[in-house]
Structure 1
Amino acid sequence: MSSRWIPLESNPDVLNSWSNKAGLVPLVQFDDVFGLDEALLTMVPQPVKAVVLLFPISPESEARRKQEDEEILSKGQPTLDPTVFWIKQTISNACGTMGLIHAIANSDATLKPESPLSKFIDQCTDKTPEERAKLLETTPLFADIHAQAASSGQSAVPTNLDTDLHFTCFVAAPSAGTGPGMRVVELDGRRNGPIDRGECTDLLADAAKVIQEVYMGNSQSMQFNVMALGPAAKD
């Protein structure tokens, strides 16, 4: 990867700080998902527009990732809506910003005109995921926002920037295959492209099921954190 940023801390204050600076109109915000059982999911403000997961990288998870990527390459997957906005990650530790861009750009959340994120999405029109990655490397729009958000967390900025934690994102997208319907799509810049995770009837509940089955069910780690993009609390 071409350069390295400070890792983002996984808490709503940091993600909302980034989002507001990037241009998200604060009618929606990120909130903690305190658990993945049905009772705790009902506490999350609805409707959920995107789900962001922080998970630990391990040799076992890397092996599963490579196996799944190879299976998708050889066997294919359901055709995904071509309008899904995805970027290949080429900046080390930028997965937090990548997750936020993926979450917001693939929702119907309103962006302020001429804001950094609005400009970036416009500039990415008709570009490949790799060209978008190059644009993210070279544009000044997000490096400062990422650094400010990373420095606003509750923990001290680490001197060692190596991390074994990674952000990924889940959104709902229309099916591009035969028949109507929505699909749960995982967007992770380290993968080869967007990943179809199955039928979507309730994004939060369906993403929670994927997180439990694909990530938490194969790990003994407690270093997971889930946040949802949804309506902001009214004053």
Structure 2
Amino acid sequence: MTKKWLPIESNPDVLNAYLRNLGVPIPKVEFCDVYGLDPTLLLFVPRPVRAMILLYPITPEIDAADAKTGEMQAAEIKAFMAENDVFFSKQTVENACGTMALLHAVMNNLDAVGDVRKDSPIDFLKREGLHVNPEERALLIESDPNLDEAHMGASAEGVTTNQPLNANIDLHFTCFVHTKNQCVELDGRKQSPLLHGVCMDNEQFVSVTAEAIQAKISLNKESFRFNIIALVDKSS
């Protein structure tokens, strides 16, 4: 039987507390809301932006567009992953997409997030999960009791009441990171990452990510269930 967790809320306060519980007690980064993709609104997001996390409603149209992109990029993605140390994990726990998005954001920005507590879930992934394949990373995540406990705590936080464990959830988190001069989308439901464009600096990353997110929104224009959170450096 597939392991199943309660979903977590798309809420910066929830993710910031979760990051501390996962092993970064005094983070140098923080999650914040992104209020829109208009260039003027994006100026309100502190820089540098280390990652963006998107919550979106799953639809056949969005899944088909992502699958087509993955097929077209297959050779390029294979070469990119072979040449670069990108932390990408498959998702094997149902409703774990919020945790996966947070881990993808943090594990690809370890130099920026702050000191990691010994024997914490993030420390465990640093020691055991950096040099294995995405399927092996998924097993490490699924089998870590400390991560289980931390996720359970995060799922109980927020302003909304969680749904029953057996509820059918049609919302999903995905993560965009700036690594090796690329905007890379990391989603454990997919076979591999997706590349959204060359980004030579942080402003380009913000712009390219906004375009990639807008492309998903355009495939479901009637929905208001999109939400964007950024991982940024804390202001001094």
Q: Same fold (TM over 0.5)?
A: yes
Q: Does 1:157 align with 2:162?
A: yes
Q: Distance in 2 between matches of 1:54 and 1:5?
A: 17
Q: Distance in 2 between matches of 1:38 and 1:217?
A: 17
Mapping of residues 133-212 of structure 1, within 5 Å: 133-159=138-164, 160-174=166-180, 182-200=181-199, 201=201, 202=203, 203-212=205-214
Asked if the contact 2:57/2:171 (under 8 Å) is kept, the reply is yes
* Aligned-pair CA distance for 1:35: 0.7
SS of structure 1 residue aligned to 2:33: strand
Asked if the contact 1:186/1:195 (under 8 Å) is kept, the reply is yes
Q: Distance in 1 between matches of 2:187 and 2:130?
A: 19
Asked if the contact 1:95/1:168 (under 8 Å) is kept, the reply is yes
Residue 103 of structure 1: which of 102, 105, 124 is its match?
A: 105
Q: Could you say which residue in structure 1 is the equivalent of 2:12?
A: 12
* Aligned-pair CA distance for 1:68: 2.7
After TM superposition, where is structure 1 displaced by more than 3 Å over at least 4 residues in a row?
75-78
TM-score by length of 1: 0.89
Q: Distance in 2 between matches of 1:65 and 1:194?
A: 10
Q: Could you say which residue in structure 2 is the equivalent of 1:21?
A: 21
Indicate the RMSD between aligned Cα atoms, in angstroms. 1.7
Letter in 2 for 1:168: T
Deviations 1:57-79 (A, max 9, x none): 01222222333333333x54462
Task: Classify 1:111/1:187 alpha carbon distance in 2 versus 1 (closer, same or farther; 3 Å).
Answer: farther
Deviations 1:5-32 (A, max 9, x none): 0011101011111111012232211000
Q: Could you say which residue in structure 2 is the equivalent of 1:39?
A: 40
Asked if the contact 1:5/1:93 (under 8 Å) is kept, the reply is yes
* Aligned-pair CA distance for 1:158: 0.7
Q: Distance in 2 between matches of 1:113 and 1:7?
A: 25
SS of structure 2 residue aligned to 1:143: helix
Asked if the contact 1:51/1:227 (under 8 Å) is kept, the reply is yes
* Aligned-pair CA distance for 1:233: 4.7
* Aligned-pair CA distance for 1:112: 1.9
* Aligned-pair CA distance for 1:47: 0.8
Asked if the contact 1:49/1:171 (under 8 Å) is kept, the reply is yes
SS of structure 1 residue aligned to 2:46: coil
Q: Could you say which residue in structure 1 is the equivalent of 2:95?
A: 93
Letter in 2 for 1:125: L
Percent of aligned pairs sharing the same letter: 40
